[in-house]
Amino acid sequence: MTTNKMLELLVLTRICDDYWKDDSYAMYLDKHYDMQKLGDRYNELGKEFLNEYALNKTEKSEENL
């Protein structure tokens, strides 16, 4: 995983955490941004990061996340 992707994952983590903690922020994000797309990207990057630590290093390990 590249440094840019790690940084993106950290930023998305922070946005998601704040989203769940602050209702007014969540409403703002829902109104102005595609939160489904943001969540999909967060999941994609999270899987990529965790794949390095998978017990089973095959492609199948990605499917189990």
At residue 56, the pLDDT reads 83
pLDDT digit string, tens, across residues 2-40: 999 999 999 999 999 999 999 999 999 999 999 999 999
Per domain, the residue ranges of the chain are 1-44
Q: Classify residue 21 by its DSSP letter.
A: H
- Degrees, nearest 5: CA angle 27-65-23: 15
Structural tokens at position 17: 């955490």
Binned at pLDDT 50, 70 and 90, residue 52 comes out as confident
Q: Which residue did the predictor score with more confidence, 29 or 65?
A: 29
Question: What is this structure's pTM?
Answer: 0.78
Q: For residues 14 and 52, what is the distance between their CA atoms, to the nearest angstrom?
A: 22
Residues 16, 40, 48, 2, Cα dihedral to 10°? -70
Map tokens 């990529």 to a residue.
48
